[in-house]
Chains A and B, each alone.
Chain A
Amino acid sequence: MFLKIGLTAAIVGFSLGGQTTLSGPVRPLTVCEVLSQSAAYNGKMVTLKGVDASTDEGLWVRGISCLPITIGGREWPPVVSLVTPDMALEETDFEFDEASWTRVGAEYKRRLSALPRNCVEFTYTGLFQTRSNWENFKLVYPDGRILYLGYGHLNFAPAQLIVKSADRVDSLPDCKR
């Protein structure tokens, strides 16, 4: 029994925490991977990648070709809201590495002619957060309208990443403009 629990823990630790336990470079998770196991990554530092989907009302990273994302019994867009520690609702034990953000942005600009926005993947590291019990974050308006308190502008995303750093920019293979 003890062995079974230990083995299970090891498997879970490897599959979910593989980013930090594997030796060598960290393999970023895709937005799809993180959202598909959102409960397991909740409250953990993760490195994830996706395309920039920012607007004039918020910073977002979007997954590419995700399977439908069902969290808390409802379907969500494959999007994670990006916030800095300054914007987060609670304290973090790290600061926003603004220099990394600037560096990655500059790298994107250098490669812009070859990399249209939807063909570029950005990698970020930060604290991943979602709700563990969406029923506690369900708002029912008097007219029957329901709002689940997701993250970002108009609670649009099922999760947020409190960004510690922007790590890199990559072109998507076989991406059409």
Chain B
Amino acid sequence: MAGGGGAEADAQSVSSSNTTPKTNEFDVASSVVVGIDDALERLQSVDCNRLFGVFTFGDAIVSASDVMRDLQNVFAQRLTGGYGKSAYNILVAVNPIPLSPTGTASGATVQTTGIIYNGTSNIGLPQVTLTLNNAAGAFSSFVPGGTKDQTVTLLHELGHIMTALGGTQSWIGADGNDPVLSSTNTQRVEKECF
């Protein structure tokens, strides 16, 4: 794992919060599984599935449905008290993200948080952290959204995850902190998957 201590904690130190919400937090884990089921169903559609492309992992070609099933498995483990280990090095963090002072609500974010470097090149998959906002009353697209809101958010972030894990065909482009691009990505998911 790259990096050291201090301000550069390596990704293994990420402590995804457990799924027991505080009283002011939305119970993401028990509801997100519904959104994941819905997303998996929508990924059966050719139009929806082609938004995400694939990435390679060893000899395997990994599809968006594979990754979504992996997330399903992570949450299934979490709901039964497990850690939620991902086959594709995805960490799921559930944290309250406050509204910005101007009132903008964040639903979810994706960040590459770790790499393994052998001195000459990176090996294996990078570690990618998906953070879901569970702040109650955040009024984001994720909390306290209905199933459609959650599905759209999950699929939007799935597009970023596919790219972060090495895919090159995702139509969900890098939106950084550009609200217009982010909205365009969301609209693309809504158009092709619903």
Which residues in A have some Cβ–Cβ distance to B below 8 Å?
42-43, 52-60, 62, 77, 79, 84, 86-87, 89-90, 96, 98, 101, 104-105, 108-109, 117, 120, 122, 129-132, 136-137, 139-143, 145, 147, 149, 151-157, 166, 169
Is the Cβ of B96 less than 8 Å from the Cβ of A154? no
B100 and A54: CB pair below 8 A? yes
B19 proximal to A (CB < 8 A): no
Instruction: Pick from A54, A140, A157, A166: contact of B104, CB below 8 A.
Output: A54
Q: Beyond A56-B186, A79-B177: 17 further Cβ-contacts under 8 Å?
A: A42-B7, A52-B101, A54-B100, A55-B178, A56-B182, A60-B177, A77-B177, A84-B95, A86-B96, A89-B11, A89-B14, A136-B3, A136-B4, A141-B166, A153-B109, A153-B175, A154-B160
CA distance A108 to B100 in the complex (A): 11
Q: Which of B163-194 contact A (CB under 8 A)?
A: 164, 166, 168, 174-179, 182, 186
| Interface SS majority for chain A | mixed
Binding site for A on B (CB under 8 A): 2-4, 6-9, 11, 13-14, 17, 56, 93, 95-115, 117, 121-122, 126, 131, 140-141, 160, 164, 166, 168, 174-179, 182, 186
Contact B166 A149 (CB under 8 A): no
Q: Which of B6, B140, B164, B168 lies in contact with A56, CB distance below 8 A?
A: B140
| Complex: A16 Cα to B101 Cα, angstroms | 27
Among B96, B122, B177, B182, chain A packs the most CB atoms within 10 A around the CB of B177
Structural contact, A151 and B111, CB atoms closer than 8 A = yes
- In the complex, residue of chain A having the shortest beta-carbon distance to the beta carbon of B109: A153
User: In the complex, are the beta carbons of A154 and B110 less than 8 A apart?
Assistant: yes
